[in-house]
Structure 1
């Protein structure tokens, strides 16, 4: 039997290539937009991709099912409630697909979305019982799916409760759990683990939400602290519903002058290098979102407007091409080009650059004054993080809401952006500079948690 997991680390997504090597046939479950590695792996093991299975119509990333169909001629299978607008074979609960000695069995598990379907895997050469289940966006390692991306949150949570207890937890404890997402995805909660797999028995024993037997209590807990909904999730759903997308995203090379003209014309310039490189020198008005760490696509989706052209700046053209593909994976399709030759070409032209000062937490404490006369502090974390503890006197402005200067922020006084680690603060600092704050500081090598650990005062909401 063939079983391979492929992860998209930027978005925390997992795809699967399953089948029978002896029979030479396979299926792909929840394919990524970049199907190159899937096709390479299929060629390597000598199987033909004949089927594409979708657990549901995804809301956080664009599927590669169209590109796989174009490359292989495979048939797409998705639950009939998805109401897909592309050619497909609609499936129902209990539907089965045989690939040599492997049987794939559909388990309708609504909640995250009405059409959501998990797939139990049965290796008939070994047993008639499922040895694994591809849980998609229902059960994760350490958490369950969020219920508010398709239906009213309480209705979604009730459906998830029933899907978990009636379908998935009814499987043998030894059944392996292979989820559609790993830690960092927007489709789950804070308990999601970076571990790639688990078992039904382990999750049943160790997940607090799964220990709740009362449906009303489960609903209350599952909906108590949901993060903000991604701004473009409905647009991604429509892209995934059809018609099929078969082309590869492209980004045109632009000269420094063309980038300058695009920025002056209203384009958003996104610098995808490391935050250190950005802080040292960047195109004036650019926003820092590094593509070299996880979460680039999610951050970009928060900031990019549907009608706003984007220009990418990387270390080189390869950086920009990679970032363009990550952008397309979250439905951002307004990338018009990239700075050819990277930031080096901008510097070689002698064009103006901006810089952002970096400051560590100990250095910040030296300049911070509780009376508010020192450095202004802008906390760019989420609301639940802010409520759990923040620096007294700081302003709260999540980075994805920084479209105008926070109320009470003096643009003529130094302002420092802080988060939990320094990564979101990099985005926040660049946005504050773009919004006209003259002296912006980027808090690095930690954030509010380090401030608290080292004895700094903390206020809780």
Structure 2
């Protein structure tokens, strides 16, 4: 039995798997771009026989329906999901056997009500299980969050505690393969390690040693905010997304075509390096640095999925990769992209907007300037590492509503910082769209500031 892992980063940190036997293979929790599994199966000389889904994923769009149609593989979904699409429902006590691989289904609700886990036994080696695919019930060093259903969060936290006790009943040597690694918002503090064992988690996963009362309290306090796309993705995964193979590639647009498409019903999304955007961009475009920020996460969180997307890109070779990163979180309406990025735009004499990027030494000189407002757009959890003095904190996603707390006085300069810089540019672009003009971004963010100071920092208010 061979286990192949497929990892997607970009703030999703999704892990899916292909388990190969002698001639057949099983895919667990597939991503939306399913051709990778088909290619791997062909490379290994096996045929995809089954697709197993642990639960309705909230943070990405799954490819289970398309993979089933493309390969003819049987699709197994949790019975409590009650999907109306063609599938085989499974629940605790059910057994799936493919060649010498025996798969026992366990009900493991808690992260979601319908969640199941799959316990694999390689019968060619013995009668005891060797691996469990835990979805979002058990991570390495953490567990799934139970608060995605706010009205049921206490009930689900208790169910999660019981599900984990069930998993801890497996032999210590059983390998644990979760659906996410560090970087996801489906948990609070996942390890960077992407697999583990039951025995290792018993010993080192601190949540597993808590009493039920303390476990529930721990999970319901201090959980990071759930991004906007979580509810949307769950619904799409239940109903089934449009197959990627049926979506067209974004097309190149001339300056005239691009300009004629710009209106309130479309989003101009600039994916270039954040400092390039700061230096010159199409007015009211949103900055999402494709290479240096959790692109898929913030695209799902910030972009309106009902609006069409017009891309500003560095290189046409990147467009397909950018499109799949958007479509993994349900942003499908990508019309096209401007050729030669903003070079062609400025060459045609079209208007641009620019802000200032400042370095830490410049900021230090201005810290006591009454005409600046220092805005920290990092998450609450990031503030534990410190904060630049006299700054106020509004986490980036909250800025969409809380911008009304800021002074629009043109004489008041807003200097924005995040962790590294790209989120600061995104924040600047959000403020530009609601009328702010005097904006600067701290290049390098708090990381650059910390390296510049090389000393303990004063926490701000």
TM over 0.5: yes
Distance 1:419 1:177 in 2: 35
Distance 1:456 1:230 in 2: 30
Which is worse superposed, 288-297 or 31-40? 288-297
Q: Is the 8 A contact 1:3 1:18 kept in 2?
A: yes
SS in 1 for 2:400: coil
Distance 1:14 1:2 in 2: 16
SS in 2 for 1:363: helix
Is 2:192 the counterpart of 1:194?
A: yes
Q: How many residues align?
A: 453
Q: Is the 8 A contact 1:317 1:339 kept in 2?
A: no
RMSD (Å) for aligned C-alpha atoms: 2.2
Q: Which residue of 2 aligns with 1:208?
A: 206
> Per-residue displacement from partner, 1:229-278 (whole Å, max 9, x unpaired)?
22122221121112463243332332222322333344211111221332
Displacement of 1:383:
3.2
Q: Which residue of 2 aligns with 1:458?
A: 459
Q: Which residue of 1 aligns with 2:4?
A: 4
Structure 1 runs not aligned, ≥5 long: none
Q: Which residue of 1 aligns with 2:15?
A: 14
> Per-residue displacement from partner, 1:296-320 (whole Å, max 9, x unpaired)?
1110122112433221211123323
SS in 2 for 1:447: helix
Residues 32, 411 of structure 1: CA spacing in aligned structure 2 closer, same or farther, 3 A cutoff?
farther
Residues 47, 343 of structure 1: CA spacing in aligned structure 2 closer, same or farther, 3 A cutoff?
farther
Counterparts of 1:43-192 in structure 2, within 5 Å, are 43-150=42-149, 152-165=152-165, 167-189=166-188, 191-192=189-190
Counterparts of 1:279-290 in structure 2, within 5 Å, are 279-290=278-289
Displacement of 1:158:
0.9
Q: Is the 8 A contact 1:17 1:29 kept in 2?
A: yes
> Per-residue displacement from partner, 1:273-301 (whole Å, max 9, x unpaired)?
22133223222211111222452111012
Which is worse superposed, 433-442 or 121-130? 433-442
SS in 2 for 1:245: coil
Q: Which residue of 2 aligns with 1:350?
A: 349
Q: Which residue of 1 aligns with 2:221?
A: 224
Q: Which residue of 2 aligns with 1:334?
A: 333
Displacement of 1:201:
1.7
SS in 1 for 2:133: strand
Residues 427, 37 of structure 1: CA spacing in aligned structure 2 closer, same or farther, 3 A cutoff?
same
Displacement of 1:384:
3.9
Q: Is the 8 A contact 1:297 1:326 kept in 2?
A: yes
Distance 2:208 2:442 in 1: 38
Residues 365, 455 of structure 1: CA spacing in aligned structure 2 closer, same or farther, 3 A cutoff?
farther
Residues 233, 68 of structure 1: CA spacing in aligned structure 2 closer, same or farther, 3 A cutoff?
same
Distance 1:208 1:200 in 2: 13
Which is worse superposed, 423-432 or 404-413? 404-413
Q: Is the 8 A contact 1:158 1:215 kept in 2?
A: yes
Q: Which residue of 2 aligns with 1:292?
A: 291
Q: Is the 8 A contact 2:293 2:422 kept in 1?
A: no
TM-score for the superposition, normalised by structure 1: 0.92
Displacement of 1:444:
2.4
Which is worse superposed, 216-225 or 449-458? 449-458
SS in 1 for 2:405: coil
Distance 1:258 1:265 in 2: 16
What is the aligned counterpart of 1:396 among 390, 393, 396? 393
Displacement of 1:42:
0.8
> Per-residue displacement from partner, 1:360-406 (whole Å, max 9, x unpaired)?
3343222111xx60431111122344477533432322222333634
Distance 2:290 2:180 in 1: 19
Distance 2:265 2:309 in 1: 9
Q: Is the 8 A contact 1:268 1:308 kept in 2?
A: yes
Distance 2:418 2:244 in 1: 38
Distance 2:50 2:340 in 1: 40
Structure 2 runs not aligned, ≥5 long: none
Distance 1:141 1:316 in 2: 37
TM-score for the superposition, normalised by structure 2: 0.92
Residues 349, 104 of structure 1: CA spacing in aligned structure 2 closer, same or farther, 3 A cutoff?
farther
Q: Is the 8 A contact 2:360 2:448 kept in 1?
A: no
Q: Which residue of 2 aligns with 1:240?
A: 237
Distance 2:241 2:441 in 1: 42
Distance 2:130 2:50 in 1: 21
